[in-house]
Amino acid sequence: MFSRAYRAVVTVPPLLWVTVFLLIPYALMFCYSFWMVSTSQTIVHSWSLANYRQLLTVDVYWQTLLRSMWIAARVMLFSLLLGYPLAYFLSFYAGAKKDLFYQLVIIPLWVSYLVRAYAWKTILGSDGVLNTLLQYVHLTKHPLEFLLYSPFAVVLTLTHIYTPFTFLPIYASLEHIPRNLVEASSDLGASPAQTFWRVIFPLSIPGVLAGATFAFVLSLGDFLAPLLLGGPSGIMISNIVVSLFGAAYNWPLGAAISLCMLVLVVSLLFVSERLEKKWSFS
């Protein structure tokens, strides 16, 4: 068996890490969410549910939360619509070029998030690549304003950034489908479309669920894309949390919103995992 020293070496650091960087901050955040900021801008350690009441009653908070969910839902949908066909093509039809295509999908993940977000800024801006092109070919007379500083820009950028995250689990689940099942389906008289909808798609559902969860959860918590490209109408809930912890100096309210987000995300992950289990058959 392993010695005590060995066991201590392998178990203590991760436990410490989890405690110091996860459990304690969460506990602090939990406490903060019940505290208050006094009129003299100090945090008062008196317990109340006022922050949560504020979150539900002040329009800007719950509306931004809903908008964030709506943006995340659209990002999820578009990532699936882009990621699934790509993964399907790669897994079933790319043949010898499979690895090359796979690398091409992965490479953007090595590029900094900021660089990619700024790239969209130069593409979508009033003097950006897209508007210049549209005016050059006389499709539009004036720069299109809705392209940048809008929820549209946020959805577009987040879709671009998170599609590889949707692609990967879908690709993995498609790769796991035994090819003799596809042959068996064809052998039993199913057309390629029937084989896809009756065999391939149902067996790839765990990957779709994992990919959808990635896209939704990661977009929901995003704050850089709305900050850089969202403008006033594209603000998301994380931007509000950032400002509450920063300029507004209302840590208790920020903590309450964060905690709500945490509960939301954890329950989503829980449901998604249950569904994935229900749909896996290996």
Partner 1 sequence: MLTREQPVAALEASATSSTLLDIHKIAKSFGKNVVLRGISLQVAEGEFLTILGESGSGKTTLLRIIAGFESATSGELWMGGERLDRLPPYKRRVNTVFQHYALFPHLTVEQNVGYGLRVAKHSASEIDAQVEQALARVKMTAYAKAKPSKISGGQQQRVALARALVKRPQLLLLDEPLSALDANLRRQMQLELKSLQREVGISFVFVTHDQDEAMVMSDRIALLRAGELEQVATPREIYSRPATSYAAQFIGHTNLLRADVRDGVVHCGSLFWTSQLPDGSALLSLRPENIEVAAPSSVPGNVRFRGKLRHKAFHGASELLQIECTDGLLFSVRTEARSDWQGELEFEFDPADAFPVRNSEAA
**Residues in contact with partner 1, shown as a per-residue x/- string from 80 to 99 under the rule CB under 8 A:** --------------------
Q: Look at residue 44 and give its three-state secondary structure.
A: strand
Q: Look at residue 37 and give its three-state secondary structure.
A: strand
- Please report how close the Cβ of residue 192 comes to partner 1 at its closest, in angstroms: 8
Nearer of residues 103 and 282 to partner 1, judged by Cβ: 282
- Please report how close the Cβ of residue 264 comes to partner 1 at its closest, in angstroms: 30
- Please report how close the Cβ of residue 83 comes to partner 1 at its closest, in angstroms: 21
Query: Do the beta carbons of residue 126 and residue 148 sit within 8 Å?
Result: yes
- Please report how close the Cβ of residue 214 comes to partner 1 at its closest, in angstroms: 23
Structure tokens at 268: 């989503």
Nearer of residues 39 and 180 to partner 1, judged by Cβ: 180
Name the one residue in this structure whose structure tokens are 């882009």.
82
DSSP class of residue 189 equals T
Q: How many residues bind partner 1 (CB under 8 A)?
A: 20
- Please report how close the Cβ of residue 186 comes to partner 1 at its closest, in angstroms: 4
Query: Do the beta carbons of residue 145 and residue 130 sit within 8 Å?
Result: no
Residues 174-233 that bind partner 1 (CB under 8 A): 178, 180-181, 183-191, 194, 198-199, 202-203
Q: Look at residue 41 and give its three-state secondary structure.
A: coil
The whole-angstrom separation of Cα 150 and Cα 26 is 33
Is residue 274 near partner 1 by the rule CB under 8 A?
Answer: no
How many residues does this entry show for the chain?
Answer: 282
Q: Look at residue 256 and give its three-state secondary structure.
A: helix
Q: Can you give the binding site for partner 1, defined by CB under 8 A?
A: 178, 180-181, 183-191, 194, 198-199, 202-203, 279, 281-282
